[in-house]
Structure 1
Amino acid sequence: WKQYFHPFSVGDLIIKPTWEEYTDEMKDHLVINIDPGTAFGTGSHETTQLVIRQLQKYCKKGDKVLDVGCGSGILSVVAIMLGAESALGTDLDPNAIIATKENAEVNKIENGRIEVIEGNIIDDKAVQDKAGYECYDIVCANILADVLEPLSEEITRHMKHGAIFMTSGIIDMKEEEVVNKFRENPELEIL
């Protein structure tokens, strides 16, 4: 798969595999180095790019970001590179935890600015408590509809008042179902 993964741009960012060299075309861009390992998230998938574009639009200096289903950590890394103060990633896959830590390191992100927790924030009280409550300015979840639906009931407990929840990964035939589930939560406004 590495032979097919080459640098590409998303808005003003360039996503570059760690094994590719820097080029002159990259010098005027913010470059995100990514090696997904065996975790999900090269940044090339349309759903990931959608969330990256939303981060470019809404993420501001000092934000605290929660990345649910962090995979390779690409969304956490992008958020920090765009000025977020910190990011917390959660994932069920231990390989995602490793990949996120490695991608934070390869992008020279200071120790502690990206934290990761292995576990399920939807129903694991220990993960919920460790993540904290009412403390995130932005929550990202580029995950499947079947995970987003139960997440809709939990996620607002972790968001500050006025926070933004960015989600993607929903196939067309599940869109209405997910939107209706999120509409059930009076603390969320769908834009």
Structure 2
Amino acid sequence: MEKTYNELHITPSSDYPLFLDFIMSLSDEAIEEAEGSIILRSEDNLEMLCFGVEAFAKELSLALGKEIHAETKLLVKENEDWIAQYRNSVQPLHVNDFYIHPSWVEGVEGKKNIIIDPALAFGSGHHETTYGCLLLLQKYINKDASLLDVGCGSGILSIAARKCGAIVDLCDTDEQATGSAIENFKLNRENFNRIWTGSVQKREQEYDVVVANIIADVLIMLASDLQKAVKEGGLLILSGILDKYVDKVEQKFSSMKLVEKYQKEEWFTLVLQRN
């Protein structure tokens, strides 16, 4: 890694989209947009790009018949260890008996340690909806209970349920998510019964517990299938529900008994029982 890198700030006086398209056509570097400015960072020299932007502004002024200019600012900055900075920014999380932490942080003795490295698949435990599910799973999961995690994301809820002794199936419509979940099960040295890319409709059985941390609209759309997936007397844990939608979700699942309603910030998690 070079000791320094170049940072170019471009702030057009008008016609911002045209400048953005022009810059993207000239450079394959990552581009950041910030308050009307376009920022490029590279270890390569960016002076020619700076001249090109100024020339483009002049040509654009002639073509559109109005004065257009672009303020450019070229900086040389010290390179830093971004990976180390990123790792330091990821904080472990305690949720009662669970301790969720990345692989580069040691676990805590006496806790149910769950290793989750932040990635594209949703679910590191820090979001209020995941937190609510983790809290309630500890309360309602019994050893050897069968559980289905619908929209599993990183697999964090399935792994948590497994650490509570459940036999777990999991699914997600995103193949990247199911792949991430499989890797996270390996990372945690845990096993699952079955995993598939798709939704609850592909299930082959009913479950003691079904958990679905998605969004309210999808929960409502899947309401019938989610309820059918739960054994008689079993539990359905729903999350991803903003406060303004919670009444709508409760109404859609009104045939089930409301056991618990947990709120963290503006997000709700519901525990429902099939009658």
Return the TM-score normalized by structure 2: 0.60
> Which structure 1 residue ranges, 4+ long, deviate > 6 Å from structure 2?
none
Counterpart of 1:44? Answer: 126
Letter in 2 for 1:172: D
Greater relative contact order (Cα 8 A, min sep 6): structure 1 or 2? 1
Counterpart of 1:178? Answer: 249
Q: Does 1:14 align with 2:99?
A: yes
Aligned pairs for 1:1-191 within 5 A: 2-22=87-107, 26-84=108-166, 86-110=167-191, 113-121=192-200, 128-129=201-202, 131-134=203-206, 136-183=207-254, 186=255, 188-191=256-259
Find the aligned partners of 1:91 and 1:3 in 2 and give their Cα distance. Answer: 30
Structure 1 gap ranges (5+)? 122-127
Letter in 2 for 1:102: E
Letter in 1 for 2:199: N
Cα deviation, residue 104, structure 1: 0.6
Find the aligned partners of 1:27 and 1:109 in 2 and give their Cα distance. Answer: 18
Match of 2:132, SS state, is helix
Structure 2 gap ranges (5+)? 1-85, 260-275
Cα deviation 1:17-64 (Å, max 9, x = unaligned): 123234xxx112111111242100001111111111111001011011
Q: Is residue 35–residue 72 contact of structure 1 (8 Å, CA) maintained in 2?
A: no
What's the Cα RMSD here?
A: 1.5
Cα deviation 1:38-96 (Å, max 9, x = unaligned): 10000111111111111100101101111011000000000000111x21111111111
Q: Structure 1 or 2: larger strand share?
A: 2
Q: Is residue 143–residue 169 contact of structure 1 (8 Å, CA) maintained in 2?
A: yes
Letter in 2 for 1:19: W
Find the aligned partners of 2:106 and 2:135 in 1 and give their Cα distance. Answer: 24
Identical aligned pairs, as a percentage?
A: 39
Counterpart of 1:124? Answer: none
Q: Is residue 68–residue 140 contact of structure 1 (8 Å, CA) maintained in 2?
A: yes
Number of residue pairs the alignment of both structures matches: 174
Match of 1:170, SS state, is strand
Return the TM-score normalized by structure 1: 0.85
Find the aligned partners of 2:253 and 2:193 in 1 and give their Cα distance. Answer: 27
Cα deviation, residue 107, structure 1: 0.8
Specify the structure having the higher radius of gyration (Cα). 2
